[in-house]
């Protein structure tokens, strides 16, 4: 899933009430969270030193969590949009969907990637 696809899917469900710039910031936040909390805790995590937050020209950039787990980005955007609109019922629904999809991705990643080994056991 790309940045543009995530924003378009969110807009289909909630409308464009919060604007593209806000959604780019939110996508940067959740992408950073996915990287730091899930990817970096496993071996083979590539260096992210060159990473920068999403900008207006990053629409075709691929997101870390790919389908079927890419929906976590859509639910996160919906959650943040609903919070901005102070629609707490929709916010709670989107938050539950985001938490479930985030956990599903983390579980899949944990099953398929070796965790970091920190230090050696010395006897």
Interval 40-99: pLDDT, tens: 888 777 666 556 778 778 788 889 888 899 999 999 999 999 998 898 999 999 999 999
Residue with token string 């710039």: 21
Q: For position 28, what pLDDT does the model report?
A: 92
Does the pLDDT value for residue 108 go beyond 60? yes
Binned at pLDDT 50, 70 and 90, residue 26 comes out as very high
Task: State both tokens at 58.
Answer: 């990053």
Q: For position 20, what pLDDT does the model report?
A: 87
What's the Cα-to-Cα distance from 7 to each of 34, 108, 115, 119, rounded to whole Å? 17, 24, 31, 41
User: Rounded to two decimals, what is the model's pTM?
Assistant: 0.86
Residue with token string 């790919």: 66
């Amino acid at each position: 899933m790309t940045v543009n696809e995530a924003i378009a899917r969110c807009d289909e469900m909630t409308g464009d009430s919060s604007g593209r710039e806000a959604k780019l910031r939110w996508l940067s936040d959740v992408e950073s969270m996915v990287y730091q909390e899930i990817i970096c805790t496993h071996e083979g995590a590539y260096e992210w030193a060159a990473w920068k937050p999403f900008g207006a020209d990053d629409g075709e950039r691929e997101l870390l969590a790919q389908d079927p787990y890419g929906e976590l980005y859509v639910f996160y955007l919906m959650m943040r949009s609903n919070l901005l609109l102070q629609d707490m019922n929709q916010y709670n629904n989107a938050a539950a969907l985001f938490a479930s999809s985030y956990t599903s991705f983390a579980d899949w990643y944990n099953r398929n990637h070796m965790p970091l080994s920190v230090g050696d056991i010395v006897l």
